[in-house]
A and B are shown apart, each in its own frame.
Chain A
């Protein structure tokens, strides 16, 4: 009865779709490579040039799309579950805007490189999360207050970010804007390893907390009497969620919509109550991999994937707001 067959099936199908998207993504581009050659290149065979294009140019980008998409999906699932609200996702409640602020400060004031920018984004995201948490804190940070304060914070930071970019001289403003669009362009294996290391650290902890997280959805009193320290659990989950969003933002810039939509789409497909971590992560990976492929190939020019997700996300957000307002 409790063996979740549908969840398993959905996860298997998502994995398959990710594999298909990956194969398409690896074989398409300026030098189209047939899938058979892609396979051979991945296994270490094939022509040297083909191998370089597949494993050194396209593979890291695909891996990052999947890993970061998964991280964003997880982060969204955590916050939507904590706030018990489909709007409670880290990109809506200011964490992405805060990460961008951190990155802007590094780029514009200290003209930092990739790693410094990533560090700035991490610090900015965490500082914003701490601010939102403390401002929303009243005997534990509750869902709705957190969202409203987060949206306000996001707006303020957005204004500040725009002001910072306007103050900067042209080249710096350009590079800040490019970073701010959220893009996987030009990423290599050098950026894959830190992401993998962080995920290897975070996901087992999250796995252990997933059952208590579901119990927390019943309300604090009910969770407490079933043997959960609600305040501590919520704090730990928030830290993990912020770390996951900051990880993605640090690596690729702010990419919105994935953490907002992935858990909700996953939920509709699995037809499960509440949010479910594994399908959310897989859905996030699939969405970002597909969005990145579309951004690269669909318009003749390479667009930053963030632009892609923002424009799809806008429609989704509108639909969500209308639906929530009608309830």
Chain B
């Protein structure tokens, strides 16, 4: 089952950045590189700065010092739409306008590819259809988003980001609201997208999912990167104890051979 992935040098990296919300500093002097072509998963306890890092990578949050760099150029210097054709973000919280249908919502992912004078094209249509198909939401396409279950809704949001057709995908906790089967389905989808050449970066809470799917893990604690690399190389009992404060055993995953974390708990 182990796949060989070619991961190249980084297109997207954070260089000595300070990330903050007003006075509250989340990360100081943070440097991270996202290997090109990787499926990178950012893990860490609550409030470790995972989502903040992802938001900085997507230029939703501007670093107050340092820079986030894409292809050698600071994100701040990109035109918004040009950037939006390269980087797509699934935010933690999005709002579906009242009564919008699935197809309409997914179509809004095409915004950066359109302009006042070029509003809707065959390429847009094809991208929306492909995104609906990839997320298994085609048969929902005429339904209002308000009426969907949490899991269906999450897949529709993912479809919207897919319709944006960006080579780099940033997903903030994409598996929240999903039951275990849909979580795996979504991670499989990310793996497929990654295999087809997209760089995928996700924030995930489940360490075992991270170990199974990631080609590259970034472990964070208190706003700093504690370890990064392939799951097999970096995920150890010490690391989990250090980052999460959780005593555990690590055994090989019987399916994939990746590290499997078994918490000790109180026995």
Contact = CB atoms under 8 A, between A and B. Distances in A.
| Majority secondary structure of chain A interface residues (helix, strand, loop or mixed) | loop
Interface residues of A, number: 26
A218 B96 contact: yes
Q: Which of A217, A221, A229 is the most central at the interface, judged by chain B CB atoms within 10 Å of its CB?
A: A221
A211 B81 CA distance: 13
B125 A229 contact: no
B94 interface: yes
Interface in A217-254: 217-222, 224-229
A237 to B, nearest CB: 16
B180 interface: no
Interface stretch (B54-62, B221-229, B254-262): B54-62
A299 interface: no
B87 interface: yes
Nearest to A81: B97
Contacts of B55: 221
Contact of B99 (A139, A227, A273): A273
A10 to B, nearest CB: 15
Interface string A89-102: 00000000000000
A58 interface: no
Interface string B5-16: 000000000000
Given A2-B107, A222-B91, A274 B84 contact: no
A94 B172 CA distance: 38
A273 B97 contact: yes
A271 B103 CA distance: 15
Q: Which of B60, B83, B92, B120 is the most central at the interface, judged by chain A CB atoms within 10 Å of its CB?
A: B60
Interface in B41-97: 55, 58-60, 79-85, 87-89, 91-97
B120 A219 contact: no
B264 to A, nearest CB: 38
Given A3-B120, A226-B109, A274 B100 contact: yes
A221 B99 contact: no
B89 A215 contact: no
A221 B108 contact: no
Contacts of B79: 227
Contacts of B120: 1-3
Contacts, number: 91
A66 B3 CA distance: 66
A208 interface: yes
B135 interface: no
Contacts of B93: 219, 221
B4 interface: no
Nearest to B95: A219
A145 interface: no
Nearest to A210: B116
Given A215-B111, A222-B91, A227 B84 contact: yes
A225 B95 contact: no
Contacts of A211: 111, 114, 116
A84 interface: yes
B31 interface: no
Contacts of A271: 99
B147 interface: no
B81 A219 contact: no
Contact of B98 (A214, A227, A273): A273
Contact of A228 (B80, B88, B97, B100): B80
Contacts of B137: none
B95 A229 contact: no
Contacts of A224: 58-60, 80
B94 A222 contact: yes
Nearest to B93: A219
Interface in A1-47: 1-3
A33 B170 CA distance: 67
Nearest to B145: A273
B112 interface: yes
A224 B109 CA distance: 12
B108 A225 contact: no
A205 B89 CA distance: 28
A279 to B, nearest CB: 14
A223 to B, nearest CB: 9
A2 B95 contact: no
B119 interface: yes
16 contacts: A84-B97, A139-B21, A139-B22, A215-B111, A217-B97, A221-B60, A221-B89, A224-B58, A224-B60, A225-B89, A226-B164, A227-B84, A267-B99, A271-B99, A273-B101, A273-B105
Counting from the closest, the 5 A-B pairs by CB-CB distance are A273-B100, A227-B84, A221-B91, A227-B81, A274-B97
